[in-house]
Every structure is written in C-alpha cells, then in structure tokens.
Structure 1
Amino acid sequence: MQEIRKEKEVLRRIAQASNAIRRKHKILKTGKESLQERMKDVFKPVVTPLQELVNVSRDTKPVKQEVKEEIKTETMDEPKNEMESEAEDSFATAEEEDQTVTESSAGLEDEYLRTLEDKNRQNELDTLYGVRNLSTAGLMNGDSPISFERNSIRIGSTVYPKTQGLLELLFKKMPNSVHVTPNDKKNYKNILLATNAHRKYYSATEPIRNTPSAKSKHLIAELLNINTSSPSSSKHYIFWDDANELVERLCMLTASQAAGNTSHNNEIMSILEELREAGIIY
C-alpha cells in the first residue's frame, strides 16, 4: 500500500508540473502575441506612410499623367486674368535673371587672382590704386582688406556686386571699357573714397596721389573731379613691377649721390615713397 501511495504522489507531482509548464507556455505565447500587437501600434504611423510611398513609386507614370490632366483641366476651366499672367511672367523673368547673374559672376575673379600671382603678367595689373597682395595682410585695396564671395566683393565691411567691369577697374592698369558699366564706375568711385586708394599712404589725411598713368588721368581724375593740371603734376614719378628692381635702382642712385651727384634727389624720394606705400619699408 505504501508503494502505491508513493507512485500516486509521483504521478500527482508530474501532473502538476505538466500543468505548470502548459500554463507558462500559454502565458509566454500570449505575451508574445501581445508584444507583436503593441509593436504594430507603435510603428504603424511610420510603416503606413512608407508603404504608401512604395505603392506610389510603383505606379509613377499614371500619377504624373493624372496631375498633368488635372492641371490642364484647371487651366481650361479657369483662365488667368491679365494681371496674374504678367505677375507670373515677371517672376519667371526675375528667376532667370538671378540664375544668370549667379552663374556668370561666380568665379569671375579667378583669372585676375591668377594674374596677380603670375610674375610674368603682373605688369597688366594696377597694384597702386587697385588690388595688391601683401605678405602680412593678404589681399588689400587701399587701406581695406578685400575678399571675394560667390556673387559679391567684400571690401572692408561693405559688399559690392561682383561684375566683370568692377573687377577690371579694381585689377587692371588699362580696364577693358567693353565690360565697364556706369554702375561699375559708380561703385569704383565709392570704393576709392571708402578705402583712400587714391591718396598717398592710403590715408585720409594725406594728399591725393597724382601719377601720370592713363588710369589716373582719365578715369580716377574724372570720377573724383581731380584737376590734373595742378603744379604738383610735374613731380617725378616712378613706375615699377618688381620691388627688387626698384631697390637696385635706389642703391645705384644713392651711390651716385654719395659720389657727389645731387641731381637724383627727387627720384630717390619718389622711390622711397613707393616702397613705403607698398609696405616694403616703413
């Protein structure tokens, strides 16, 4: 009898364990299904729009055709009045002009900057009134730093529209008049006045620089109403492209002066002035 009771007890425990296993399995299965339902609810706002985009991309052509037909129907049913048509035309023209300016002005300065770095072509440039490259301060125009942005030129704190004509005026000894417009001349005049590029030592307290160059006589003098027939115009001026040549000339003149020749005083003073203005000596 005792053995039978033990066997019944073992069978009862096995049955209890089996029932417990089934309950846990059911709980786990129910929890997994519940988790899946919750995940669907969480990601439904994201999955649904993505699925709609996939469906649209699979059938692009009919959608485009439907839009075209809808636009055509609206155009036929509701004709635009004259004011709306003019406004749309003006807007389109403005967009086209803006695109043209952007495409044409971006990178315009590159060729001028390359010329500034090319010693064989630097004689084309006006580094006295225009842009010059200083080893310590970088690009300068007059007393102000100059930089180039996509569609504009920044000089000091002022921004000017970047055009071929204004670049010609800023860089060249002999600007190409084909590119220069009245507005370019107006901006160049403002730049001269703002940067003191037309004055000695680029200082507002110094007198106006008067050189015999064509640019000075016919362009800058005209823009600033400078009288080029004043007595100071007879002063001796020096033209140079290479600072080393200028220094060599100065050494030769000072040696001649030391030997007793006093006829080079004006040229020596002019060379010293040029070297100071170029920032070579102080």
Structure 2
Amino acid sequence: MDNEQRILEELVKAKENIKRSTPEKVEEELVENDESIPVRKSKYNAELENLFNSPDFDKTYGPKKIHNQIILGKNVIKFTDGKLIVLDLKKIEYITTEGLLQLIFLKSPISYTSHDLYTYKYILKHTYAHLITDGSKVKKGGKKYINIISKLFPSGGGLRVKLQKNNLVYWDNPNEIIDRLKLLLASQAAGNTGVGNEILSIFEELLEAGLIKRIPNV
C-alpha cells in the first residue's frame, strides 16, 4: 500500500511539473519563431543586395533599380518572403531558390538545377528581359547568352506566338505551356497560393485549342 501511495505521489508531482513547465516552453518557442521572421527577411534582403553589388552582376539580362523600384525587362518585380513577384495585369509569383537568383542576377551562374532553368525561362517570357527593347529578337552577348539564353531559346523563339488571352506569356508550342502548367501545379502543391488564376487560364487555353477535353459531370 505504501508503494502504491508513493507511486501516486510521484505521478502527481510529475503532472504538476508538466503544468508549470509547458507554458514557459511554449512561450519560449513562440518568441523564437517571432524573432526568426525578421531575421529571415533581413538575411534574404542582404542576399539580394549582395547580388546587386556582385562583380558578376548581369547588366544585360539582370534587374535594374529605377526610381525605388526593381525592373526586370518590361515589368516591375518584387522580392518578398522568398518569392519573386512579377507585377503585370495580375501578380505572378515564383518561389526563389539560390540557383534561380543566380540565374536572374549573375552573368556566370554556377549552381542551379534544371527546375531553376525552367522557372528562369518562364520569368524571361513574362518580363521579356531576354529581348531587345521592341521585343523583336533576343539580346545577344557574353557567356550567359552562349551558355544559357541561346539554349533556352535556340531559334529565338518565344517572341510572338501567343496562347494566353491575358497577354502575359508568349509560347512556342503546346509542350511549353504544359511544362508551365506542371511547374505551377508543383508550386501550388508546395503551398504557393498565388498561382491559381494562371492555372485556370492555362486550362481554358488548352480547352479552346482543343488540346484537352472537358470531362462531363456524371
């Protein structure tokens, strides 16, 4: 009986200790999380500033600071919360990675994935950053053109073939718009909530072009 009483007392003490320690622990975690948000933003902004000031900064295809705005090609862009936002008739968001930022900012990017290249190509198509001022042909010059731009646009394509009604994107062929759709769906699955309208727009274009069929409700 004494053993049972002693065990019961130990359980009560343990329960009281949990009650006292848990709120403090939760409060500490909340403080840490609150502090991490501005820290992450500060680091992200510092990374962007370092890219702008890099000796390898790309003055031909890269973004420019004009009147307190960042301009890429023909569009105002913003970098926030780990995303690149292209401002046009509607906002289009891209999740940035270290490789994608190198492709956007640097003349000689060295560390990027095939996914980064796909994303970079669509950013160029949205902003026309790879084209001369009148949009008639691709800007040529430097290692970046030889190693990256010319391979993304091997025949100077992507200039004036339009599938999207909203005038945001020009496409060479249906395969490219399908690739874009895959990219958007993957981004949405990863938690990006800003791509829904563009996904719907692409489905509408594919339907109108007769490339997909609507399945009737049963």
Query: For the pair shown, which has the larger CA radius of gyration, 1 or 2?
Result: 1
- Which structure's relative contact order is higher, taking Cα pairs within 8 Å and 6+ residues apart? 2
Q: Please, what TM-score do these two structures have when normalized by structure 1? A: 0.39
Please, what TM-score do these two structures have when normalized by structure 2? 0.49
Structure having the larger proportion of residues in helix = 1
